[in-house]
A and B are shown apart, each in its own frame.
Chain A
Amino acid sequence: MADLFTILAVSAGAVLFLAGTLGLLRFPDTLTRLHALTKVDNLGLGLVVLGLLPQLGWLAAAKMLAVWLLVQLSGAVVTQILARSVRGEGES
C-alpha cells in the first residue's frame, strides 16, 4: 500500500518535472517560462518528497520536508527577483 502510494506520487512528480522542463524550453518569454518552472519546484519536488515519506524514518522524513521548504523559499524569492528585473521594476 505504502509502495503503491510512493510509485504514484513520485511518478506524478516526475511528470511535473517533465512538463516544467518542456515549458522552460518551449514557452515564448521569461515570465511564462518562470511560470512553468515554479510548478516543478513546488508540486514536482513536493510530490516526490511526499511519495518518499512512507519509505523513511521520521528523522529522514523531517529532513526531506526541510529540503522541500527551503527550495520553496529560495524558489519563490529567485522567481520574484527574475520576474521583477524582466519587468524593469528596479532591484538591479
Chain B
Amino acid sequence: MMETGFDVVLALMLLGVGGWSIIARNMMTAVIIFIAYGLLLSLAWVRLHAVDVSLTEAAIGSGATGLLMVIAAHKVAGDSQRVVRLSRGFHVLAAVFATLVAIGIASLAFVLPGAPVSLAAPVLERLPESGLGNPVAGVLFVYRSFDTLLEKVVLLLALIGVWALARDQDWGGVPGLRLFQHPHSVLMLLARTLPPIGFVFAIYMTWAGADVPGGAFQGGTVLAAMWILVMVAGVRRVPRVSSPLLRLAIVAGPLVFLAIGFLGFVAPGVFLAYPDGLAKPLIVVMEVALTLSIAVILGLLIAGPPRAKDSA
C-alpha cells in the first residue's frame, strides 16, 4: 500500500515535471527541469528493479546530456542574433507531430501481439558459462555484443559530429571548454580532492559491473566527470584534438572490441564469440578499454569543438 502510494506520486511527478519542461518559456529553465526529470526517471527505474538502467539514466540521461544542454542553452542565449523566432503555426505543427508520435508509441505498447516471449529464464540458466553474475552485463557482452559494439561506435560518431562544427582554421586546436581558472578558488580544492575518490569509485563500478549493477558506461561517466572537473578548474590543460594519445584513447574501446570480435573467427569460428573458458577475461579486457574510451569521448563531447582562440 505504502509502496503503491510512492509509485503513484512518482508517476504523477514525472508527468508533471515532464509537462513543465515542455511549457517552460525560458530555455535554461526548461533544461534545468529536464535534469530534474532525468533524476526522477532514474528513481522510477530503481522502482522497476532495473538498477543498471537507473545508473545510466542518472549519469548519461540526466548528468551528461543535461550538461550538454546547459552549454547549448547558454551559447544560444549569449548569441541573440542567431536565435530563430518560430511562428505560432510552426509550434502548433511541432506539437501535433510530437503528439502523434507519442500516441503511436503508446498504442503500439497496447496492441502487442499476445504475451511477449520471455527469454529471461534461458538467459539466467546459461549465464554462469560466461563467468558473469550480472544478467545485464551478460546480455550486453554475450547475447547482444554486436549491438553493444555498434553503441560504442555511435558514441564515436557523435564526437565526430561535434568536431565537425569546428571552423577549418581551428581544426586540431584545443576544445572551447569554458574554464573557471582561479588559483585560490574553492573549485580548485574540489578538483584536487575529489578525483582520487572518483577514480577509485569509477574503477570499482566498472569492475563490479560483472556481478552487480554497474559497468563500463557508468564507470566511464564518473571518470569523464572527474576529467571535466580537473580541466574546468585548470588543474590540467584541455588537450588538443590532434593529440595522438588522445585519439588512441578514443578508439581504444571500439578497437579492442573489434579485435576480440575477429578473434572469435579463429577460436569458436563465429564473429564476437568467445573461446571456451576465456569469456570472462576477454570481457574484462573489453570493459577496461571501453571505460577509457567512453570517459574520454564524453569528456570531449562536453568540451566541445576545437576553437582557435585558446590554442596558442
Interface string of B61-79 (1 = CB under 8 A from A): 0000000000000000000
CB distance from A23 to the nearest CB of B (A): 18
Q: Which of A1-9, A47-55, A68-76 contacts B (4 or more CB under 8 A)?
A: A68-76
Question: Which residues of the other chain, B, contact A18 by a CB distance below 8 angstroms?
Answer: none
- Tell which of B182, B186, B193 touches A90, judged by Cβ atoms closer than 8 Å: B182
- The distance in angstroms between the C-alpha atoms of A90 and B184, with both chains bound, is 12
Interface string of B160-195 (1 = CB under 8 A from A): 000000000000000000001010011101100110
Interface presence of B120 (CB below 8 A)? no
Residues in chain B near residue A80, CB distance under 8 A: 186
| B2 in the interface (beta carbon within 8 A) | no
Total residues of chain A contacting the partner, CB 8 A: 10
C-alpha spacing A81/B185, complex, angstroms: 8
Given the complex, which residues of A lie within 8 Å of B190, measured CB to CB? 73-74, 77
**How long is the Cα–Cα vector from A5 to B118 in the complex, in angstroms?**
45
- Residues of B contacting A73 in the complex (Cβ-Cβ under 8 angstroms): 190, 193-194
B191 nearest CB neighbor, chain A only? A77
* B197 contacts A91, C-beta separation under 8 Å: no
Q: Inside 8 A of B180's CB, which chain A residues have their CB? A: 81, 91-92
Number of A-B contacts (CB under 8 A): 23
Tell me which of B186, B194, B197 contacts A81 (CB under 8 A): B186
Report chain A residues within 8 Å CB of B185. Answer: 81, 91
- The answer to whether B186 touches A77, judged by C-beta atoms less than 8 angstroms apart, is yes
Question: How distant is the Cα of A92 from the Cα of B178 in the complex, in angstroms?
Answer: 9
A73 to B189, CA, bound (A): 10
How far is B194's CA from A76's CA once the two chains are assembled, in angstroms? 13
A24 to B197, CA, bound (A): 30
Question: Cα distance A90–B185 when bound, in Å?
Answer: 10
Question: Which A-chain residue is minimally distant from B197 (CB atoms)?
Answer: A70
- Contact mask A75-88 → B, CB, 8 Å, 1/0? 01100110000000
B191 to A: closest C-beta gap in Å? 9
CB distance from B79 to the nearest CB of A (A): 18
Complex contacts, A81 vs chain B, CB 8 Å: 180, 185-187
In the bound assembly, the distance between CA atoms of A77 and B194 in angstroms comes to 11
In the complex, which of the residues A74, A76, A90, A91 has the most CB atoms of chain B within 10 Å of its own CB atom? A91
Residue of chain B at shortest CB distance from A74:
B190
What are 19 A-B interface contacts by the 8 Å CB criterion? A70-B197, A73-B193, A73-B194, A74-B190, A76-B186, A77-B186, A77-B187, A77-B189, A77-B190, A80-B186, A81-B180, A81-B186, A81-B187, A90-B182, A91-B180, A91-B182, A91-B185, A91-B187, A92-B180
Nearest first, the 6 A-B pairs at minimum CB distance are: A80-B186, A77-B190, A77-B186, A91-B182, A91-B185, A91-B180
